[in-house]
Structure formats: C-alpha cells, structure tokens
C-alpha cells in the first residue's frame, strides 16, 4: 500500500513571543512529525496586520531554535500569499455573499460555540437598495453560505466530533470588511498548498475544524488528520496570553511541556541539552498518552 509521507506544521500568529501554551502546541506537532519520520513546516499567520507585533516573528524563530524545534524548508509568511487567498475566494464566489452588518447590529444574536455571534443571515438575500440602511454601505465582509449538513470527524485525541456549522456558527466570514482574509480561509488554503497531512494544534481551535473541513470540501481539497492537544490555562482557567501576563517560553520549559503532553521524563533526561532531550522525546513519543482534556490549568 502506498502511504503518503507525514507532513506536519506549526502556524503561530506573530502577535507576541511564544508562551508555555504555544510552546506545547509547537512541541506536540514537532514530536508527532519527527516520531513519524515526517517533515515539520513553519508558517507565520501574519494576515491580521493590526494584531501583528513587528518583532514577534523573529522572536518566535529564535525561541524555536533555542528549544531545538528545527523546522524544514523556508518559513512561509501568509502576508506574502494574498493571491492564493484571493483565488480561493473567487472559487467560492457562488457560495458566498457580501455582508454589511456591523458588529453592533449582530449584538442581539446568540453566542456561537467559539464565543462570537451566530450570524442571523441578514444579508443572505442581498444588499438590495431600499431594503435597509445596509445597501448604502461601502465596506462589506464576504460570508460563506453554510449548509445544514453536520460535519463529522475523528480527532486523534478528542475523539468523535460533530458540528452543524450553519446552526452552531452561522455563515462565517471569509474576508473581513477591512479586506483581511479570514484565518479559516487562509489556513485551509495553506495547509493544502503545503501538503500538510497532519494538523496538531491547541484545542482552542477544535471548534474551528468543522468550518475548515466544510471549506476543504467546497474547494475540493483533502482533509488532513487532526490532533488537538489541551490548552494550558492559568489557575483562573484563562488561556495563557500576553493579556494574562504569560511569560516567554524558554528551553528550561521543555521538560514541563513534555509532562503536560503525558510523557514521563526520567531524571537523566532533565540533564540533557534541548537537542538531546527532544531526540529522546521523539523516540518515546506516544500520542495516545496525551490527556483528553480541552484545557488543563497549570499549578502555581
Ligand atoms: N495561527 C493560529 C494561532 O496561533 C493557529 C493556526 C492553526 O494551527 O491552525 O492560534
């Protein structure tokens, strides 16, 4: 039987340095790729320029290098690939529509699973003049017309997942009103373009996966395997981030990150340099030992 070689990736948003939570995601995807003899690609998800921090991408590269998380091939920057997203949006033209609703106008809609608002479909039937104030607006987003069919997939850690995108999220944005291509569109285009077979990332993105599979089907591209690792939170249950004052990830965090992923780290491994430690860990990696939680609170 012909087996497709494993291609993994890490796709940070350069909005700040890596913290413990993003180090865990990088480490899990690196270990899974190396354990399977695969390639590990690096992609900077820098489309949301207002949120990008100028020096963050370089800081992330230096942090990964210091932790011996070596990537294969050139680093890909989404900001240099707008043509691809434009082409994908064009392919979806018959399935999408312009939307001029403001955030304020959506405030009364129910909350979607990811905390955003479920789009009530206001602009689905068009921005016809006279129909509403929306018709006169010039800035509009592009939304995908979703369907009622449930999307099902089996996550390697979180198990069987089912989501009805239309009911649980609603018609979601492909390009924002400020012209920025949405993460959901760009991630699908790039994972396919880079030949990614295995997406390993934090469980905060588990609820995005059905949207991504929906897009893959519409664009006629293959669905990779998915593995979502628990997200590290502080004692208050908040995801680690700049806002929650998470400290920058350092090589000294590697043993703790390995334990977070369910590995037993023997005393002799604690004396190893990052390269040797990761070499040891990639040989002993067992994805079946990753805790099946979506979040895990760190002590202290
Ligand atoms: N750029 C996303 C983030 O940093 C991750 C994207 C992905 O792994 O699919 O949250």
pLDDT, tens only, 94-105 = 999 999 888 888
Question: What is the number of the ligand 1 atom nearest to the C-alpha of 201?
Answer: 8
Question: What is the number of the ligand 1 atom nearest to the C-alpha of 22?
Answer: 4
pLDDT of residue 131: 46
Phi and psi torsions of 141, nearest 5°? -90, 170
16 Cα: distance to centroid of ligand 1 (angstroms): 13
Question: What is the number of the ligand 1 atom nearest to the C-alpha of 212?
Answer: 9
Instruction: Read off the pLDDT of residues 13-72 as tens digits, 9 standing for 90 and up.
Output: 999 999 999 999 999 999 999 999 999 999 999 999 999 998 999 999 999 999 999 999
Residue 129 confidence (pLDDT) above 70: no
Q: Can you tell me the distance from the alpha carbon of 33 to that of 183, in angstroms, rounded to the nearest whole number?
A: 23
Rg (CA), the chain: 20
Q: Can you tell me the distance from the alpha carbon of 287 to that of 200, in angstroms, rounded to the nearest whole number?
A: 10
With bands split at pLDDT 50, 70 and 90, how would you rate the model's confidence at 246? Answer: confident
| Phi-psi domain of 111 (left: phi exceeds 0; alpha: psi -120 through 50; beta: other) | beta
pLDDT of residue 109: 87
Residue 224 confidence (pLDDT) above 70: yes
As for ligand 1, residues whose beta carbon falls within 6 Å of it are 11-13, 45, 187, 201, 205
25 Cα: distance to centroid of ligand 1 (angstroms): 9
* Residue closest by Cα to atom 6 of ligand 1: 11
Note the residue count of the chain. Answer: 300
Question: What is the number of the ligand 1 atom nearest to the C-alpha of 204?
Answer: 10
Q: Can you tell me the distance from the alpha carbon of 298 to that of 300, in angstroms, rounded to the nearest whole number?
A: 7
* Residue closest by Cα to atom 7 of ligand 1: 11
pLDDT of residue 125: 86
128 Cα: distance to centroid of ligand 1 (angstroms): 36
263 Cα: distance to centroid of ligand 1 (angstroms): 24
For residue 47, give the DSSP letter: -
Residue 186 confidence (pLDDT) above 90: yes
Probe residue for ligand 1, chosen from 43, 183, 215 as the CB with the greatest number of ligand atoms within 8 Å? 183
For 254-277, b/e burial (b = at least 16 CB within 10 A) is bbebbebbbbebeeebeebebeeb
Question: What is the number of the ligand 1 atom nearest to the C-alpha of 187?
Answer: 9
Q: Which two tokens stand for residue 47?
A: 């489309």
Which of these, 19, 36, 21, lies nearest to 231 by C-alpha position?
A: 21
11 Cα: distance to centroid of ligand 1 (angstroms): 5
pLDDT of residue 30: 98
Residue 3 confidence (pLDDT) above 80: no
Question: What is the number of the ligand 1 atom nearest to the C-alpha of 25?
Answer: 8
Spatial contact of 143 and 215, defined as CB atoms under 8 Å apart:
no
Spatial contact of 155 and 226, defined as CB atoms under 8 Å apart:
yes
């Amino acid at each position: 039987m012909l087996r497709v070689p494993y291609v993994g990736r890490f796709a940070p948003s350069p909005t700040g340095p890596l913290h413990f939570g993003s180090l865990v995601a990088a480490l899990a995807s690196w270990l899974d790729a190396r354990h399977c003899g695969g390639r590990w690609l690096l992609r900077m998800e820098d489309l949301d320029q207002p949120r990008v921090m100028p020096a963050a991408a370089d800081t992330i590269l230096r942090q990964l290098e210091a932790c011996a998380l070596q990537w294969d091939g050139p680093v890909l920057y989404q900001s240099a690939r707008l043509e691809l997203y434009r082409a994908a949006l064009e392919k979806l033209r018959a399935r999408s529509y312009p939307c001029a609703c403001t955030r304020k106008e959506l405030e009364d809609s129910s909350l979607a699973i990811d905390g955003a608002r479920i789009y009530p479909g206001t602009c689905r039937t068009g921005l016809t003049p006279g129909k509403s104030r929306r018709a006169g607006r010039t800035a509009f987003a592009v939304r995908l017309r979703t369907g009622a069919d449930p999307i099902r997939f089996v996550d390697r850690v979180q198990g069987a997942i089912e989501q009805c995108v239309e009911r649980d999220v609603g018609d979601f944005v492909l390009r924002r009103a400020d012209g920025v291509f949405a993460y959901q569109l760009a991630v699908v285009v790039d994972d396919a373009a880079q030949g990614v077979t295995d997406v390993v990332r934090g469980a905060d993105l588990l609820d995005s996966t059905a949207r991504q599979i929906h897009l893959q089907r519409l664009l006629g591209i293959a669905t990779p395997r998915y593995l979502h690792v628990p997200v590290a939170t502080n004692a208050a249950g908040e995801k680690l981030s700049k806002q929650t004052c998470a400290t920058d990830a350092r090589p000294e965090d590697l043993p703790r990150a390995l334990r977070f992923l369910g590995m037993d780290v023997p005393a002799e491994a604690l004396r190893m340099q990052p390269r040797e430690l990761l070499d040891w860990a990639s040989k002993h990696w067992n994805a079946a030992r990753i805790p099946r939680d979506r979040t895990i609170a760190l002590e202290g």
